[in-house]
Chains A and B, each alone.
Chain A
């Protein structure tokens, strides 16, 4: 029966809370020609954690996401998901293994309904092919039923179930953002990467989103969050990694990051010598 806590590790969580490492980024360097977008970046995400990835514009946050989700292949270094390297895997394989993401610029399937968008996500774990569909074999029926139930559940979780039959293109901006998260969750991931989910939100909506991200984590997902809004990042994350010019300049709990002179320098644009 599909439900929001179907992730096995989460069910076992009370015994071993914040268990092993879900994702390990190990000395990843990524170069585009002469430009070094990521320079020897390493960090880990523990299970059930909300990790914030912050940094000024152009620091390499989204590039880092793209490396994790297989869009770019690192020039050197390794990315381990649940202990196994995912370098060189096809993008859809990485998703099927359990890493889902949203996009900085919303990228829904505009002419499909909200429900269908989420169904595409649930299909990541399905195997119905042409013949199953054509002859309506039991597998097709089972997967359709499960997928629909799960998709509606996720839409309800996001509070947009009333709009299930609307085209994604016709949803409001905020609902499109919510739908993207629902679609990512539908792929059955262990790790969800949110790329600036609060972009364009007003303060009230941001508070709501913070609660939502916590709720997502409480469902047993691990969250990697890129965010510009410092307040939101500080409020919701367990740990923060700061990037600047492709390099990791700090890592630690939100309180530590807030007082870190290098981070302040990076954000306020002070020379590092002056800051230290």
Chain B
């Protein structure tokens, strides 16, 4: 990290560009070890991108503002159902028009849930949000207007670019033979056709959303709003006495999180083309929270890593059938024991700076360096 931040700006931009390019090209590369042998790699990657979105959104609520939300799937469901209703069940809006409405509806529901409940703290808030997630699902189960248990199908797809048969152009995938890499001209992705069989365009859409949300996250975190969230998380009373309108900022965190959750749900619904209440079980709220906590709540790169692991590992090891869930659980327990702050806890950079400072002092023969081992790993 230290080396990376020391590079001149053009080099940094180039590195980020290459990373982004690699991320976009990932489903085309069909890398032997990384790819999932038992399920469509592009579909898995799309799921990963949705989990990344959700983790970024939940990280704002849990990681930045310190509000334990166990019903995050509720916002995800609201986004998905809004899109489903508008594009299929009760209307035939184009998806690109339905998504903004879905996010706004999710955001408003965040305000409606938050306004009365954000006055309670800690465990109580967790219980209230837990209830919220379940209420949303049960309402969906019991309301015919929302499709009931049967759910809603034929949800709108994003608009295609170019001809239905070929797209604007076709992008070949790679084929890894024995020690050779070939362009596979039979296995191509049409740019940009959102069909059912090829998940790659959806993955690109999801990844683009992740990149945009990530940028917004960086901009907001590094401002008065981000500081207010952190201060509220650290000591709500002290923050209030330092002039932070904590309730307002908690509500803002909640609705921003709901916004991102709604977006993720909308994209998910569009890709699945079919949703029913089974897609929004409590289990998912827990998984999302696991992604945030495993990765390192409060650190955007950490939660992205966490989301990747939570979404990817069970698919990668699908071959092990039921054991994969056991292994996943074991991995979580191990992590909780060995790295209770998550894989990438926040503030590495500050610690790195501190280490630098300590090293300077060490060179002057002042103080021994205690954190050497810790930061060497980082």
Pick the residue among A91, A125, A130, A166 that contacts B240 (CB under 8 A).
A91
Pick the residue among B219, B224, B234, B241 that contacts A112 (CB under 8 A).
B234
The reply to whether the CB of B263 lies closer than 8 angstroms to some CB of chain A is no
**Residues in B neighbouring A75, C-beta threshold 8 A:** none
**Residues in A neighbouring B118, C-beta threshold 8 A:** none
The reply to whether the CB of B366 lies closer than 8 angstroms to some CB of chain A is no
Bound complex: CA of A30 vs CA of B368, how far in Å?
52
B-contacting 9-mer, from A35-43, A115-123, A219-227, A242-250: A115-123
Is B244 touching A92 in the complex (CB atoms < 8 A)? yes
**Residues in B neighbouring A101, C-beta threshold 8 A:** 241
Q: How far is the CB of A115 from chain B (nearest CB, A)?
A: 10
**Residues in B neighbouring A107, C-beta threshold 8 A:** 235, 237-238
The reply to whether the CB of B227 lies closer than 8 angstroms to some CB of chain A is yes
Is A92 touching B240 in the complex (CB atoms < 8 A)? yes
Q: How far is the CB of B104 from chain A (nearest CB, A)?
A: 14
With A107-B235, A109-B239 already in contact, the answer to whether A128 and B244 are too (CB < 8 A) is no
The reply to whether the CB of B242 lies closer than 8 angstroms to some CB of chain A is yes
Please encode chain B, from 338 to 378, with 1 for each CB lying within 8 Å of some chain A CB and 0 for all others.
Answer: 00000000110010011001000000000000000000000
Is A112 touching B227 in the complex (CB atoms < 8 A)? yes
Is A116 touching B347 in the complex (CB atoms < 8 A)? no
**Residues in A neighbouring B240, C-beta threshold 8 A:** 90-92, 95
**Residues in A neighbouring B243, C-beta threshold 8 A:** 92, 95-96, 121, 123-125, 187
Total number of A residues with any Cβ neighbor in B under 8 Å = 43
Is A103 touching B219 in the complex (CB atoms < 8 A)? no
The reply to whether the CB of A29 lies closer than 8 angstroms to some CB of chain B is no
With A123-B244, A133-B219, A170-B354 already in contact, the answer to whether A103 and B238 are too (CB < 8 A) is yes
**Residues in A neighbouring B357, C-beta threshold 8 A:** 166
Bound complex: CA of A91 vs CA of B240, how far in Å?
6
Bound complex: CA of A130 vs CA of B60, how far in Å?
13
Bound complex: CA of A159 vs CA of B357, how far in Å?
18
Bound complex: CA of A96 vs CA of B245, how far in Å?
10
Q: How far is the CB of A192 from chain B (nearest CB, A)?
A: 12
Bound complex: CA of A100 vs CA of B227, how far in Å?
18
With A92-B244, A95-B241, A120-B242 already in contact, the answer to whether A111 and B256 are too (CB < 8 A) is no
Q: How far is the CB of A99 from chain B (nearest CB, A)?
A: 9
**Residues in A neighbouring B143, C-beta threshold 8 A:** none
Total number of B residues with any Cβ neighbor in A under 8 Å = 31
Bound complex: CA of A187 vs CA of B243, how far in Å?
7
**Residues in B neighbouring A143, C-beta threshold 8 A:** 224
Nearest opposing residue in chain B for A129, CB measure: B225
The reply to whether the CB of A82 lies closer than 8 angstroms to some CB of chain B is no
With A120-B228, A133-B223 already in contact, the answer to whether A166 and B242 are too (CB < 8 A) is no
The reply to whether the CB of A71 lies closer than 8 angstroms to some CB of chain B is yes
* Residues 29-51 of A at the B interface (beta carbon under 8 Å): none
Q: How far is the CB of A188 from chain B (nearest CB, A)?
A: 9
The reply to whether the CB of B18 lies closer than 8 angstroms to some CB of chain A is no
Q: How far is the CB of B2 from chain A (nearest CB, A)?
A: 14
Q: How far is the CB of B352 from chain A (nearest CB, A)?
A: 10
Bound complex: CA of A123 vs CA of B242, how far in Å?
9
**Residues in B neighbouring A170, C-beta threshold 8 A:** 354
Is A69 touching B242 in the complex (CB atoms < 8 A)? no
Is B353 touching A134 in the complex (CB atoms < 8 A)? no
Is A120 touching B231 in the complex (CB atoms < 8 A)? yes
Bound complex: CA of A187 vs CA of B239, how far in Å?
11
Is A166 touching B227 in the complex (CB atoms < 8 A)? no
Is B234 touching A109 in the complex (CB atoms < 8 A)? yes
Bound complex: CA of A119 vs CA of B357, how far in Å?
22
Is A126 touching B234 in the complex (CB atoms < 8 A)? no
Pick the residue among A109, A126, A130, A147 that contacts B256 (CB under 8 A).
A130
**Residues in B neighbouring A112, C-beta threshold 8 A:** 227, 230-231, 234
Bound complex: CA of A245 vs CA of B78, how far in Å?
56
* Residues 10-60 of B at the A interface (beta carbon under 8 Å): none
Q: How far is the CB of B123 from chain A (nearest CB, A)?
A: 21
Bound complex: CA of A136 vs CA of B225, how far in Å?
12
The reply to whether the CB of A140 lies closer than 8 angstroms to some CB of chain B is yes
Pick the residue among A90, A95, A132, A136 that contacts B242 (CB under 8 A).
A95
Is A69 touching B225 in the complex (CB atoms < 8 A)? no
Bound complex: CA of A235 vs CA of B239, how far in Å?
32
Is A116 touching B230 in the complex (CB atoms < 8 A)? yes
Q: How far is the CB of A195 from chain B (nearest CB, A)?
A: 11
Pick the residue among A124, A125, A140, A183 that contacts B223 (CB under 8 A).
A140
Bound complex: CA of A144 vs CA of B230, how far in Å?
17
Q: How far is the CB of A93 from chain B (nearest CB, A)?
A: 8
Please encode chain A, from 58 to 102, with 1 for each CB lying within 8 Å of some chain B CB and 0 for all others.
Answer: 000000000001010000000000000000001110011000110
**Residues in B neighbouring A272, C-beta threshold 8 A:** none
Is B230 touching A128 in the complex (CB atoms < 8 A)? no
With A128-B223, A130-B256, A143-B224 already in contact, the answer to whether A120 and B235 are too (CB < 8 A) is no
With A128-B225, A133-B223, A133-B224 already in contact, the answer to whether A121 and B216 are too (CB < 8 A) is no
The reply to whether the CB of A113 lies closer than 8 angstroms to some CB of chain B is yes
Indicate the member of B225, B243, B354 with the most A CB atoms within 10 Å.
Answer: B243
A109-B230, A111-B346, A119-B227 known; 7 other A-B pairs, CB under 8 Å? A90-B240, A109-B235, A121-B242, A123-B243, A134-B219, A140-B223, A147-B224
27 A-B contacts (beta carbon < 8 Å) = A69-B241, A71-B241, A91-B240, A92-B242, A92-B243, A92-B244, A95-B240, A95-B241, A95-B243, A96-B243, A116-B230, A120-B239, A121-B242, A123-B228, A123-B244, A125-B243, A128-B223, A129-B224, A133-B219, A133-B225, A136-B219, A144-B223, A165-B350, A165-B353, A166-B354, A166-B357, A183-B242
